[in-house]
């Protein structure tokens, strides 16, 4: 098998970013889309020029036409459809957040181990060259000892008719976008926090539309995160160390517009060139390397399990109004 034949499991909005990435990739082709109705699958396939359609997710999983599926369902459906896809013999790239409970994360990991198939969370920003630059700054010691990370991810909806506002679907700003700052902190700090403190403002549907969290890593190291559906699109991160700080204006999305600046403890700020690469290409190429070359995925399931654990602890803390130890 020299190519990976992809099937889209749903006609979700986010697919519009992943479809070009599959087509840009060296070893992937988009062969099918499944939707809950034939009509929707057909009109989607026509719009995106996809050769094969399925009128149910089950039908695509039962077919030999695809090797790997991209799961872009609402959050509460990720776990069950990932497991069903693995059991049907498909490799799986599942959207973030991977699952809403640790029990589900563990069931998904067990299914991948039992079937020997590739499973990864689709956290595209982790694969982008901007993050490789951050990794180099941290690894090379240019920032010194890191004491603080501050990250924000806010945006507003065009319409209130959105899966992100439905509590049973795993709605909420922390699950949706706050998880990026949580994952970024884990990447830079090298693991999950020891304890967290969370604060949430819920909206009329019962999900958090604003979340602020403080994550503690021992030795005075702290991360502050916030996420919101209440204010216009805004993202940023700053990583502060004993020898300087690194600031990014677009750490997670729209990275082609990102400005990355290193401020040393003395001297002029250094504007860092970020290599251009389509944001969603890395996660697709990484799946191909895992499926076709047997390489481990860059974003491991252990890392995924840890940021889900941290998000759950933040929600538990916000609900209880107390710190939660992991």
The only residue of 11, 25, 154, 228 in contact with ligand NAP, by rule CB under 6 A: 11
96 is catalytic: yes
Binding ligand NAP (rule: CB under 6 A), the pick from 124, 146, 185, 272 is 124
- Of 13 and 113, nearer to ligand NAP (C-beta) is 13
Residue 236 is a binding residue for ligand NAP (CB under 6 A): no
Q: Does 10 bind ligand NAP (CB under 6 A)?
A: yes
Among 25, 31, 53, 72, binds ligand NAP (CB under 6 A): 72
Q: Among residues 19, 30, 31, 35, which is the contact residue for ligand NAP, using CB under 6 A? A: 35
Which one, 35 or 186, has the nearer CB to ligand NAP? Answer: 35
| Catalytic site residue from 96, 132, 158, 202 | 96
Q: How far apart are CA 208 and CA 226, in angstroms?
A: 11
Stretch touching ligand NAP by CB under 6 A, among 20-28, 72-80, 190-198, 289-297:
72-80
Alpha-carbon distance of 236 to 204, in angstroms, equals 27
Judged by beta carbon, residue 120 or residue 272, the one nearer ligand NAP is 120
Smallest gap from residue 102 Cβ to ligand NAP (A): 18
Cα 141 from Cα 46, distance rounded (Å): 51
**E strand residue ranges, the chain:** 4-9, 28-34, 52-54, 68-71, 91-95, 119-122, 146-154, 195-202, 208-216, 222-228, 234-241, 244-248, 260-264, 270-272, 324-325
Task: Give CA–CA dist 248/115, Å, rounded.
Answer: 40
Among 50, 100, 122, 133, binds ligand NAP (CB under 6 A): 122
Q: Using CB under 6 A as the criterion, which residues of the chain lie in contact with ligand NAP when the complex forms?
A: 10-14, 35-36, 40, 72-75, 77, 95-96, 122, 124, 163, 176
């Amino acid at each position: 098998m020299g190519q990976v034949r992809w099937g889209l499991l749903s006609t979700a909005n986010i697919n519009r970013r992943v479809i070009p990435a599959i087509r840009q990739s060296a070893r992937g082709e988009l062969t099918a889309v499944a939707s809950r109705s034939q009509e929707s699958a057909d009109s989607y396939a026509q719009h995106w020029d996809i050769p094969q359609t399925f009128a149910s997710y089950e039908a695509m999983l039962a077919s030999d036409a695809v090797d790997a599926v991209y799961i872009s369902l609402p959050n509460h459906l990720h776990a069950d459809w990932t497991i069903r896809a693995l059991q049907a013999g498909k490799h799986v790239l599942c959207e973030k957040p991977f699952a809403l409970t640790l029990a589900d994360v563990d069931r998904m990991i067990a299914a991948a181990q039992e079937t020997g198939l590739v499973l990864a969370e689709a956290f595209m920003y982790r694969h982008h060259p901007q993050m490789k630059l951050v990794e180099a700054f941290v690894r090379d010691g240019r920032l010194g000892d890191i004491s603080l990370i501050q990250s924000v991810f806010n945006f507003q909806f065009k319409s209130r008719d959105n899966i992100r506002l439905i509590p049973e679907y795993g709605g909420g700003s922390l699950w949706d976008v706050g998880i990026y700052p949580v994952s970024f902190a884990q990447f830079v700090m090298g693991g999950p926090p020891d304890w967290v403190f969370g604060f949430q403002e819920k909206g009329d549907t019962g999900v958090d539309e604003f979340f602020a969290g403080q994550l503690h890593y021992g030795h005075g190291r702290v991360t502050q995160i916030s996420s919101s559906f209440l204010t216009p699109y805004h993202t940023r991160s700053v990583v502060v160390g004993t020898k300087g700080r690194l600031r990014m204006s677009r750490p997670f999305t729209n990275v082609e517009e990102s400005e990355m600046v290193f401020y040393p403890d003395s001297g002029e700020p250094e504007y860092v060139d970020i290599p251009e690469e389509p944001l969603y290409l890395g996660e697709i190429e990484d799946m191909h390397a895992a499926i076709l070359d047997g390489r481990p995925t860059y974003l491991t399931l252990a890392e995924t399990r840890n940021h889900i654990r941290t998000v759950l602890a933040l929600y538990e803390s916000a609900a209880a109004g107390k710190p939660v130890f992991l």
